[in-house]
A and B are shown apart, each in its own frame.
Chain A
Amino acid sequence: MPSGALLFQSVILGLLLGGLYALLAAGLTLYFGIMRVVMIAHSAFLILAAYLAWWSHTELGIDPLLSMVVTVPLFFACGVLLQRLLLARLRAVTLTMMSVLLTFAIAVVIEGLLGYVFSGTQRRIQLGYGSASLELFGARIAVVKLIAFGLAAVALLSLYLVMKRTTFGWALRATIQHRDAARLVGIDTDRVAGFGFGLGLATAAIGGTALSLDTTIYPSLHWHWIGPLMAIIVVGGLGSVPGAAAAAMLLGLAQSLLQIELGTTWAQTVFYVALFLTLAVRPQGFFGGRLAQRF
C-alpha cells in the first residue's frame, strides 16, 4: 500500500498533468465539433510550438513564455488558412475519413521538417527556475509545472468565455450544433468555421509552450500525445469542450495514480482502456457529447 505522502504527491502531479491534457483536448474536440474533422496533426502543431519556444529561448535568449506573442497569432492564422484552403475543399460525404488522411500527412510533414531543421536530438529548455518548487502540506509543486497549469487554466477559461459571452462564440456554437440552421439565421458558417479552426490551433500554441517548460521534446513526440488526446475527447463526448476538460482531468489523475502500482509503461494504457469502455458502454461519451449520437 503506497504511503499517504506519495498518494497526495501523485494527486497533485495528476491534476497538473490533467490541466495540460484538458487544454490540448479542448482544441481537438473543437475541430471535430465545428466540422467533423479528425485533426491528427493537432499534436504535431503542439510539438512545433514547443520547438519554437525552445528555439527562441536557446537562440534569442528570451523567456519561452514570450514566444507565445508570436506563436499564438501565427498558429491562429495557420488554422484559418488550413481550414479555408485544404479542409473546406474535402467532399462533405467523406469529410471525416479524408480529414484523417489529410491531417496525418500534415503531421508527417511537420515531423519531417522539425527533424530536418533541428535534428532528431532530444531538446530541453534550460531554465534558471527549472528545478525550483513550492511546498504544499508536505508535497512539492514544481514552479514550471505550476506555470504550465496556469497557462492551461487561463487559456481554457478564455476559450470558455469566448464561446459563451461573445457573438462569435454564439455563432461558433450554433455552427457546431446545427450548421444548416445556423446558416438560415444568417451566420457565415464558412468564416466561423475558419476562425474556430484558428482558435483550436491557437490552443496548440499555448499548450506547446507550456509543454516545453518541463519536458524533453523531439520531432516524433507528437505520436505519444495524439493517442491519449483522441481517447480523452471520445470519453468526454466528441465536440464537447467542457466534456473534454473533465475527461482530461480525470484521466490525467488516473494515469498519475496508476503509475504508483503499475509503473510508467502500463499506466499509459488507462487512456485506451477508457476509450474501449466508452465505445462499448456509452459511445456518445460520458460528459455532454450530443454530437456523437449522430454518427
Chain B
Amino acid sequence: MTTRTTTNRTRWATAVGAILALALGACGGDEPEQASSDEPIVVGISLPLTGDFSEPGKGVQRGYEAWAKITNDKGGLLGRRIELKVLDDQSNADRVVADYEQLIGSDQVDIVVGPFSTRLVVPAARVAEEYGMLFVEPAGAAAEVFQQGFKNLFYAAPAVASDHYNHLAEHLLALPAGQKPTTVAYAAMDDPFAQGTAYGLKAKLEAAGVKTVVDEVYPPNTTDFSSIAAKIATSKADMVVGGSQYQDGVNLIVALQQLNYQPKLAAFSTAPTSPEFAAAIGNKTEGILSPTGYTQDAPYESNKEFVEKYTAQFGSPPEEDEANAYTTGQVVAAAITAAGCAEQGECQKKLVDWVRANKVETVVGPLSWDETGKPQGAHMIQQWVGGEIKIVLPADAKEADLVYPKPAW
C-alpha cells in the first residue's frame, strides 16, 4: 500500500515537473497571445467526482454547469462564451494540486474556481496563489482556510461556520430577561465545520452570560447517541444546540426524543435542511431550528432565475452545493464584467482588487469579504413549523415568525 502510494506520488511529481518545464518553455519564446473576442473564456476546475466527496462534488459540478449555461444563454461575458474545463481529483489532495498546476500551467485556462471541501480547497488555493490567480471557492468554510494568509481567495457563501448562528444569537440575546434561555447543552461532531457552527453560537451566548451545562464532542462515526442524550436530557437545559452533519443529527434527535426531553429551543446544523429529514425522525420535527446558507425560497432577485432555469436544466431544484458553485460563478462574472478582462497575468490582479473592494449580489444575498477572504454575512435561520421548514430570521427575509418556546416534539 505504502509503496504504491509513493510510486504514484513520484509519478505525479514527475508529470507535474514535465508539465511545468513544457509550460515554461512555451512561454519563454513567444509573447502571450492576446485573447480575441470570439475565443471562449475557459474556466478551469478540479472536482472530486469520484471518491469520498463524489456526491457533493457532482452537486458542485451541476452548479457550475448551470452557471455556464445561464450566462452563455444571455450572451456570455464581455461577448465571450464561458467554457468549463473540469478535471476529477478523486477527492485526493495530491491530485488536486497536480490538477490546478495542469489547468493553469499547461492548459492556460483564463480563470480558475475552487473545488469542494476544506481539505481540497487549501492545497488548491496555494497553487492559485503561486500563479497569482483569483481564487473564488464554493466550499471551504473552516477557520483554517482563512489562516493561511491567502491574498487571492474568496469564499462564495454568506458566512463561515462560526458565524452561521449569528442571527439566532442576536435574536435570543435581545429577548427580555425573563424569556431568555439560561442554560444550554451543546453536542458537536469532532469536525471543524460541524463543531465550528455550535461553538460559534456557544462563544456568543457564553459571552452574554448564558450558562453551558453540557458540552459534548463525539467522533464522526458515532452511531450510539444514547449516553450523550441522557446527559442532555437530565441536565434539563432550556436549549440544545447540535453541531451536526446529517446522520449524527438525526440519531441525536431520535435519542433525545426517546428520553422525552422537551427543550424550549432546539437548533441543529445541516441535518434539518435535508429533504429526507422529516421522514428520518418520524415527522417529529416541530420547532427544530437550523441555519441555512441557501434555500430555494430565498427572496433574492437572481435566485428566482437560478431556481427556475436550474430546474429546467436538471429536472429538480438546486440544493446548497449547487447554489454555492453558482454563487462562485456569479462573483467571478461580476469581477470580469467590472474589470473588463479575463485572462492570466495582469488581469488577475484587477479581478482580485475588484472583488476585495466590492459587494456582489448573488443567489445567497449580497456578499462582501474581509482581508482573509472570509465572507461578512450570517446564515438565515429556518424553523420547522407545522410540518414545513420556513425562514424565520433575519427579519427582512422571513417567511414566518420564530416560535419560542418551541412546541413539544
Contact = CB atoms under 8 A, between A and B. Distances in A.
B258 A142 contact: yes
Contact of A140 (B219, B258, B280): B258
18 contacts: A9-B230, A9-B259, A124-B250, A128-B282, A130-B254, A130-B281, A131-B281, A133-B258, A133-B260, A140-B258, A140-B259, A145-B258, A215-B223, A215-B251, A221-B221, A259-B228, A263-B216, A264-B217
Contacts of B230: 6, 9-10, 13
A293 interface: no
A126 B280 CA distance: 6
Interface size range on B against A:
20 to 34
B279 interface: yes
A13 B234 contact: no
Interface string A112-135: 000000000010101110111101
B227 interface: yes
Residue among A128, A131, A267 with most chain B CB within 10 A: A131
B284 interface: yes
A264 B280 contact: no
B173 to A, nearest CB: 28
B88 interface: no
A126 B227 contact: no
A17 B246 CA distance: 24
Nearest to B219: A265
Given A133-B258, A140-B260, A264-B218, A124 B231 contact: no
Interface of B: 190, 216-219, 221-224, 226-228, 230-231, 233-234, 246-247, 250-251, 254-255, 257-260, 279-282, 284
A17 B254 contact: no
Given A9-B233, A142-B259, A256-B227, 17 more contacts: A6-B230, A124-B251, A126-B280, A130-B254, A130-B281, A131-B284, A140-B260, A142-B226, A145-B226, A215-B223, A215-B251, A217-B223, A224-B221, A263-B218, A264-B216, A264-B217, A265-B219
Nearest to B279: A126
A224 B216 CA distance: 20
Residue among B228, B254, B284 with most chain A CB within 10 A: B254
Contact of A265 (B190, B260, B279): B190
Interface in A218-262: 218, 221, 224, 256, 259-260
A46 to B, nearest CB: 13
Given A124-B250, A215-B223, A264 B279 contact: no
Contacts of B223: 215-217, 221, 224
Given A6-B234, A9-B259, A133-B259, A259 B227 contact: yes
Given A216-B223, A264-B218, A131 B254 contact: yes
Contact of B222 (A13, A133, A140, A264): A264
Contacts of A218: 221
B257 A265 contact: no
B231 A6 contact: yes
Given A10-B227, A142-B258, A264-B216, A5 B234 contact: yes
A146 B227 CA distance: 16
Contacts, number: 86
Interface string A167-191: 0000000000000000000000000
Interface of A: 3, 5-6, 9-10, 13, 17, 122, 124, 126-128, 130-133, 135, 140, 142, 144-145, 215-218, 221, 224, 256, 259-260, 263-265, 267
A135 B259 CA distance: 9
Contact of A264 (B228, B234, B259, B282): B228
A70 B260 CA distance: 35
A130 B247 contact: no
B219 A264 contact: yes
Contacts of A122: 246-247
Contacts of B227: 10, 13, 256, 259-260, 264, 267
Contact of B234 (A9, A126, A145): A9
B282 A260 contact: no
A172 B246 CA distance: 46
A17 B258 CA distance: 15
A221 B222 CA distance: 10
B224 to A, nearest CB: 6
B226 A13 contact: yes
Contacts of A131: 254, 257-258, 281-282, 284
Given A124-B247, A124-B251, A260 B280 contact: no
Contact of B224 (A3, A124, A130, A215): A215
Nearest to A268: B219
